[in-house]
Amino acid sequence: MATQIRSFGMSKMTIGSCSDFHNKVLGFITTATPAVLHIENLTVGYTTAVETLVSIVNRQRSFIATIDLKNADKTRDNASGVISNVTNAYLTSTVEATGKAARLLSPQLSPYKGIRNHEYTKQTAEVKGMLTLLDQPENKAAIAALGLTAEVESLRAANIAFENAFLSKTTEMSDRMTQSDVKSADAVEAANTLYGEIIQTVNAYAIVQPSDAITTFITNINGLVGTYSRIAGSSNSGGTASGGDDKPVIPGGGGEDDRPVIE
C-alpha cells in the first residue's frame, strides 16, 4: 500500500488559513525540491499563487498619508477661519487703519465663506486662489494691519503640506492597484487548483516510483492536512493506495499503455 496525500475540505478554510497552509506546503516543496517530486512544471505557478495570497492577506486597509492629510486639512481650516473671523470682527473697529483694512478685505473674502466644509480638492484650489488674492500688495498691507500675516503664512504652509500628502496617498493608491484588482476568491482558487495538480502528481509517483524523499514529503503534507482540516472544521480522507495494474503512467515512460498520463 503506497502512502498518499490525504484530501480535505480546503474550501472551508478562511483566506488567512488558506494562505498559511499553502505557504507551508511550498516550504516542504522547497525542502524536498521540485525535481525530486517531479513537479518542476507546476512549482513556479504555485509559488506565484502563494505569494499573491500572502499579499492579499497582508494588504493594507488604510493609507499612511491619511493622518498627514487630516492634520494639514485641520490646520488650513483653522487658519482660513481665523483670517475670515478676524476680518469680520474688525469691520466695526473704531481704529481707522484696522477698520479700513477689514472693509477692503471682507468683500474679497466673501467667496470663501464656508470653505472648510468643501470637498478636499476643491478646498485646495480655493485656498490657492485666496492666497493669490491676499498676496496682492494692497491686500498684503491690509493683512499686516490686522496682524494676520503669520496666519496667512500658516495657511500657505498647510495647503502645501496637504497637497504633498495627497500626492503621497495617490502614490500609495497606485502601488495597490494591481493587488486590489485581484479578487480573493480567484486567488484562493488558483492556489487550490495548482495544489491539487501537485498532489495528484506526487501521489502518482509515490505509487510508480516511490522514494524516501517522496514519502517524507507526503508525511509532512498529511501532517498539515490533519492540522488544517481541524482548523477548518472539515474531515480528511485517503492516505493509501494499492499497487498493481491500476498504477498511473509516468509521462514519457513509453509503452503501449492507454491509461491517463500525468501532466
For residue 255, tell me if it sits in a domain.
Answer: no
The answer to whether position 249 is within a domain reads no
Q: Are residues 74 and 113 in the same domain?
A: yes
Looking at the fold, whether 15 and 79 belong to one and the same domain comes out as: no
Question: 114 and 164 in one domain?
Answer: yes
- For residues 24 and 47, membership in a common domain is answered with yes
| 38 and 15 share one domain | yes
Alpha carbon separation from 26 to 87, 225, 231, 261 (Å, rounded): 68, 14, 19, 24
Amino acid at 26: L
pTM, two decimal places: 0.56
Q: 158 and 69 in one domain? A: yes
Q: What confidence tens digit (pLDDT) does each residue in 34-69 have? A: 999 999 999 999 999 999 999 888 776 677 788 999
When pLDDT is cut at 50, 70 and 90, the band that residue 256 belongs to is very low
The answer to which of 214-218, 227-231, 257-261 has the lowest mean pLDDT is 257-261
pLDDT tens sequence across 190-219: 999 999 999 999 999 999 999 999 999 999
pLDDT tens digit sequence for 70-129: 999 999 999 999 999 999 999 999 999 999 999 999 999 999 998 989 998 999 999 999
For residue 61, which phi and psi values (nearest 5 degrees)?
-100, -10
Q: Is residue 105 part of a domain?
A: yes
Domain-embedded: residue 220: yes
Residues 143 and 189 in one domain: no
Residue-wise DSSP of the chain: -EE---EE-GGGS-HHHHHHHHHHHHHHHHHH-HHHHT-HHHHHHHHHHHHHHHHHHT--SS-THHHHHHHHHHHHHHHHHHHHHHHHHGGG-SSHHHHHHHHHHHHHHGGGTTGGGS-HHHHHHHHHHHHHHHTSHHHHHHHHHTT-HHHHHHHHHHHHHHHHHHHHHHHHHHHHHHHHTS-HHHHHHHHHHHHHHHHHHHHHHHHHS--HHHHHHHHHHHHHHHHHHHHHT--EE--EE--STTPPBPTT--SS--SPBP-
Same domain for 197 and 236, yes or no, is: yes
CA separation for the pair 94, 1 (Å, rounded): 104
Is a pLDDT exceeding 70 seen at residue 175? no
Least confident among 45-49, 145-149, 171-175, 203-207: 171-175
Determine, yes or no, domain membership for 147: yes
pLDDT of 5 strictly over 80: yes
Let me know if residue 20 belongs to a domain: yes
Is there a single domain that holds both residue 173 and residue 118? yes
By residue range, what is the domain housing residue 39?
A: 2-60+181-241
Claim to verify: residue 96 and residue 166 sit in the same structural domain: yes
Q: Domain check: are 34 and 124 in the same one?
A: no
Work out how many domains the chain is built from and give that number. 2
Q: Where is the domain boundary, 159, 180, 201?
A: 180
Q: Is residue 246 part of a domain?
A: no
In this structure, are 214 and 173 located in the same domain?
Answer: no
Q: Indicate whether 77 belongs to any domain.
A: yes
User: How many C-beta atoms surround the C-beta of residue 5 within 10 A?
Assistant: 23
